[in-house]
């Protein structure tokens, strides 16, 4: 009955893998860029197909309502980013930041990253997921370092070490989960399969689960970029190629968060275990407060938005930690919209950095005057990320704050105030970037605004009208997460 489903899932995994192999061989860089976009598009198409047809959960792979959201999102952003990267990388080649060989490597790695993330999302097995996340991390590490400038290498090295430690912690947590499960469901693969774990979680030894969750939260939280595990994130965003920054913020963080959510659902399935909420709320709130203050002293435009990613990841973690249908719904929606918005912002930032020849915000002024389309779309993106209507993030932040305030007023006030603090920093920068008299280099933009327009369009539409089907689906997932 669902052979088709199996095929689809297989396609989602195989297409990027093959694409990586092929792209490693393609000589012509322009064709490579197009092929890259095409492969990503195919993957996205297959992911869409999951909506109509999904296979029964197997021992290694599973497709359920939760991860379908993530898969479609990540394949979509992966596709648009590849389109953007086409126009971006060409420019990098002209300016000599990259050689042809490295470009091939870049494209291959891009698909490899896609493969890793899809695998992590699709895996029904905690161990497999761990391997996939590690794979994704390693590929991004390599890509962060691809410019081989000292700064880039430093960032990559830091990312690498911290990421590895995170991975180690996550692995220990995974082992503990297995141990917890083994005594109940017996040895073997079942003791690592999601559906089995969630089903039997209530019988597990709570002590094991608690310990496991601590390690998993810290391990995968490192990837999510939660304070104080965030250190790799700003530099990795700033020093790598912009498409990678977009993918990091837009996707990899989500994948890690997805892992956390999976384990959270196991935890909350066991009444005796320590409630995962408070931990997530604490880390999330810490991240929001910390990041919103860190926004003020940034000089590098990509670091600025990297920190804003930390802030928003904090918001999302906070929302899921608070739990409740309303907050979970808001968290999911916030995550999706943040991915779209932030990657759109990074698209703009990439073009800005190319036309101005710098990432130092002090040297970027008056974009709306010099490059109207670019400037205004960056402005719109910042408005969206700052949570102002009519963009969608306003709705989610509205839901999160209001639903929290009725339950935990102090938390809501802290959250709201730090959101305002972050808004202050972002607007301050926005003033400098897009307003005032333009100066410095002003190369013409040769950019395709299609991805930016698409993302911001979706975000705008989401702020005004959400299709009922989507809403029902998200609400269902939100109830699942409780």
Partner 1 sequence: MIAPLALDVAHLFAGGLVLVSFMLLYQDRMTGLINTFALHALVVSLSVAWQAYIQHAPHLYITAAIALGIKAVVIPIALHRIIRRLGIHRTIEPVVGIGLTMLAGIGLIALSIMVMLPITAQAGTLAREDLSFALSVILLGLLMMISRRNAVSQVVGFMSIENGLILAATGAKGMPLVVEISVAFSILVALIVIGIFLFRIRERFETVDIHLLHEHRGEQP
Partner 2 sequence: MALEVLLWCNAALLAAGAAGLLLARRQGATPLVYGASLCITLVALVAAVVSLLAPGSLGATRVLPVGLPWLGAHFRLDALSAFFLVVINLGGAAASLFALGYGRHEETPGRVLPFYPAFLAGMNLVLIAADAFTFLFAWEFMSLSSWALVMAHHRRPGNAAAGYLYLLMASFGTLALLLAFGLLAGPSGGYAFDAIRQAPPSAGIAAVVLVLALIGAGSKAGLVPLHVWLPLAHPAAPTHVSALMSGVMTKVAVYGFVRIVFDLLGPPAWWWGALVPLVGGITAVMGVLYALMQNDLKRLLAYSTVENVGIIFIGLGLALAFEANEMTGAAALALTAALLHAFNHSLFKSLLFFGAGAVLTSTGERDMERLGGLIHRMPRTAFACLVGAAAISALPPFNGFVSEWLTFQAILLSPALPQWLLKFLVPAVGALLALSAALSGACFVKAFGITFLGRPRTPVASEAVETDRFSLAAMFTLAALCLLAGILPGYFIDALAPVGQALTGANLPRQEQLDWLTIVPIAQSRSSYNGLLLFFFIVLSASVAAEVVHRFASAASRRSDAWDCGFPDSSPATQYSAGSFSQPIRRVFGSVVFRAREEVDLPAPGDGRAARLQVRLRDVPWDVLYAPIARLVGFIAGHLNRLQFLTIRGYLTLVFGALVTLLMVLTVWQ
Residue 423 interface partner, choices partner 2, partner 1, none, CB cut-off 5-8 Å depending on type: partner 2
Residue 5 interface partner, choices partner 1, partner 2, none, CB cut-off 5-8 Å depending on type: none
Among 207, 272, 362, 450, binds partner 2 (CB under 8 A): 207
Q: Is 401 in the site for partner 2 (CB under 8 A)?
A: yes
Compute the least distance from the CB of residue 248 to partner 1, in Å. Answer: 15
Task: Calculate the alpha carbon distances from 181 to 184, 191, 196 in Å.
Answer: 5, 5, 9
From CA 218, how far away is CA 174, in angstroms rounded?
Answer: 12
> Rule CB under 8 A: which of 217-256 touch partner 1?
234-235, 238-239
Residue 389 interface partner, choices partner 2, partner 1, none, CB cut-off 5-8 Å depending on type: partner 2
Residue 355 interface partner, choices partner 2, partner 1, none, CB cut-off 5-8 Å depending on type: none
Compute the least distance from the CB of residue 135 to partner 2, in Å. Answer: 21
Residue 192 interface partner, choices partner 1, partner 2, none, CB cut-off 5-8 Å depending on type: partner 1
Compute the least distance from the CB of residue 24 to partner 2, in Å. Answer: 31
From CA 130, how far away is CA 192, in angstroms rounded?
Answer: 11
> Rule CB under 8 A: which of 209-268 touch partner 2?
210-211, 214-215, 217-218, 222, 228-229, 231-232, 234
Tokens 């497709």, residue? Answer: 63
Name the one range near partner 2 by CB under 8 A: 188-196, 197-205, 440-448, 464-472. 464-472
Tokens 């990795």, residue? Answer: 236
Compute the least distance from the CB of residue 446 to partner 2, in Å. Answer: 21
> Rule CB under 8 A: which of 336-375 touch partner 2?
366, 368-369, 372
Q: Is 207 in the site for partner 1 (CB under 8 A)?
A: yes
Compute the least distance from the CB of residue 428 to partner 2, in Å. Answer: 6
Comparing CA positions, the residue from 357, 343, 347 lying closest to residue 94 is 357
Among 168, 414, 460, 480, binds partner 1 (CB under 8 A): 168
Residue 18 interface partner, choices partner 2, partner 1, none, CB cut-off 5-8 Å depending on type: none
3-state secondary structure the chain: CCHHHHHHHHHHHHHHHHHHHHHHHCCCHHHHHHHHHHHHHHHHHHHHHCCCCCCCCCCCECCCHHHHHHHHHHHHHHHHHHHHHHHHHHHHHHCCCCCHHHHHHHHHHHHHHHHHHHHHHHECEHHHHHHHHHHHHHHHHHHHHHHCCHHHHHHHHHHHHHHHHHHHHHHHHHHHHHHHHHHHHCCCHHHHEHHHHHHHHHHCCHHHHHHHHHHHHHHHHHHHCCCCCCCHHHHHHHHCCHHHHHHHHHHHHHHHHHHHHHHHHHHHHCCCCCCHHHHHHHHHHHHHHHHHHHHHHCCEHHHHHHHHHHHHHHHHHHHHHHCCHHHHHHHHHHHHHHHHHHHHHHHHHHHHHHHHCCCEHHHCCCHHHHCHHHHHHHHHHHHHHCCCCCCHHHHHHHHHHHHHHHHCHHHHHHHHHHHHHHHHHHHHHHHHHHCCCCCCCCCCCCCCCHHHHHHHHHHHHHHHCCCHHHHHHHHHHHHHHC
Among 84, 110, 130, 394, binds partner 1 (CB under 8 A): 130
> How many positions of this chain bind partner 1 (CB under 8 A)?
49
Residue 427 interface partner, choices partner 1, partner 2, none, CB cut-off 5-8 Å depending on type: partner 2
> How many positions of this chain bind partner 2 (CB under 8 A)?
72
Name the phi and psi angles at 332, rounded to 5. Answer: -55, -50
Among 151, 272, 413, 420, binds partner 1 (CB under 8 A): 151
Q: Is 416 in the site for partner 2 (CB under 8 A)?
A: yes
From CA 448, how far away is CA 438, in angstroms rounded?
Answer: 22
Q: Is 62 in the site for partner 2 (CB under 8 A)?
A: no
Cβ atoms of 334 and 315 within 8 Å: the answer is yes
Compute the least distance from the CB of residue 235 to partner 1, in Å. Answer: 6
- Find the length of the chain: 482
Name the one range near partner 1 by CB under 8 A: 90-98, 104-112, 297-305, 452-460. 297-305
Q: Is 188 in the site for partner 1 (CB under 8 A)?
A: yes
Can you read off the two tokens belonging to residue 273? 């275990």
Compute the least distance from the CB of residue 465 to partner 2, in Å. Answer: 5
Among 83, 133, 138, 423, binds partner 2 (CB under 8 A): 423
Among 192, 201, 246, 259, binds partner 1 (CB under 8 A): 192
Can you read off the two tokens belonging to residue 145? 């370092």
Task: Return the number of the residue (241 or 392) whose C-beta is nearest partner 2.
Answer: 392
Residue 172 interface partner, choices partner 2, partner 1, none, CB cut-off 5-8 Å depending on type: partner 1
Among 15, 62, 108, 169, binds partner 2 (CB under 8 A): 169
User: Which residues contact partner 1 by CB under 8 A?
Assistant: 125, 127-128, 130-131, 134-135, 138, 148, 150-151, 153-155, 157-158, 160-161, 164-165, 167-169, 171-172, 175-176, 178-180, 182-183, 187-189, 191-192, 205, 207-208, 211, 234-235, 238-239, 298-300, 303
């Amino acid at each position: 009955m669902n052979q088709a489903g199996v095929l689809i899932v297989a396609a989602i995994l195989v297409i990027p893998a093959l694409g990586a192999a092929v792209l490693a061989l393609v000589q012509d860089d322009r064709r490579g860029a197009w092929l890259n976009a095409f492969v990503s598009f195919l993957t996205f198409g297959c992911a869409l197909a999951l909506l109509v047809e999904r296979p029964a959960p197997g021992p290694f792979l599973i497709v359920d309502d939760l991860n379908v959201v993530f898969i479609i999102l990540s394949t979509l952003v992966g596709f648009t980013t590849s389109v953007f990267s086409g126009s971006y990388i060409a420019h990098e080649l002209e300016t000599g930041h990259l050689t042809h060989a490295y470009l091939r490597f870049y494209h291959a790695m891009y698909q490899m990253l896609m493969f890793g993330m899809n695998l992590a999302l699709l895996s029904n097995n905690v161990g497999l997921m761990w391997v996939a996340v590690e794979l994704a991390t390693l590929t991004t590490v390599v890509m962060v370092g691809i410019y081989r400038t000292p700064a880039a290498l430093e960032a990559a090295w830091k990312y690498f070490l911290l990421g590895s430690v995170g991975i180690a912690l996550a692995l220990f947590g995974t082992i503990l989960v297995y141990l917890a499960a083994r005594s109940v469901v017996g040895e073997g693969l079942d003791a690592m399969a999601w559906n089995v774990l969630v089903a039997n979680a209530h019988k597990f030894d709570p002590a094991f689960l608690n310990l496991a969750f601590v390690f998993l939260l810290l391990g995968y939280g490192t990837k999510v970029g939660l304070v104080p595990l965030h250190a790799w994130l700003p530099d990795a965003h700033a020093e790598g190629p912009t498409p990678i920054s977009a993918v990091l913020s837009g996707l990899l963080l989500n994948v890690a968060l997805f892992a956390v959510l999976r384990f959270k659902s196991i935890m909350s399935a066991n009444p005796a275990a320590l409630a995962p909420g408070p931990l997530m709320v604490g880390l999330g709130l810490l991240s929001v407060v910390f990041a919103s203050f860190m926004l003020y002293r940034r000089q590098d435009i990509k670091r600025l938005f990297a920190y804003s990613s930390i802030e928003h990841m904090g918001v999302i973690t906070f929302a899921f930690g608070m739990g409740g249908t309303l907050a979970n719904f808001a968290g999911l929606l916030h995550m999706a919209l943040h991915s779209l918005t932030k990657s759109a912002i990074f698209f703009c930032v990439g073009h800005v950095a190319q036309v101005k020849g710098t990432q130092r915000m002090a040297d970027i002024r008056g974009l709306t005057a010099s490059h109207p389309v670019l400037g205004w779309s960056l402005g719109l993106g910042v408005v969206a990320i700052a949570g102002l209507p009519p963009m969608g993030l306003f709705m989610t932040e509205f839901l999160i704050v209001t639903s929290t305030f009725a339950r935990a007023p102090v938390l809501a006030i802290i959250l709201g105030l730090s959101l305002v603090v972050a808004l202050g920093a972002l607007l301050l920068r926005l003033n400098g970037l897009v307003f005032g008299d333009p100066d410095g280099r002003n190369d013409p933009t040769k950019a395709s605004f299609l991805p930016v327009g698409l993302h911001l369009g979706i975000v705008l539409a989401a702020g005004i009208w959400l299709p009922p089907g989507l809403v029902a689906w998200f609400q269902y997932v939100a109830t699942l997460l409780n």
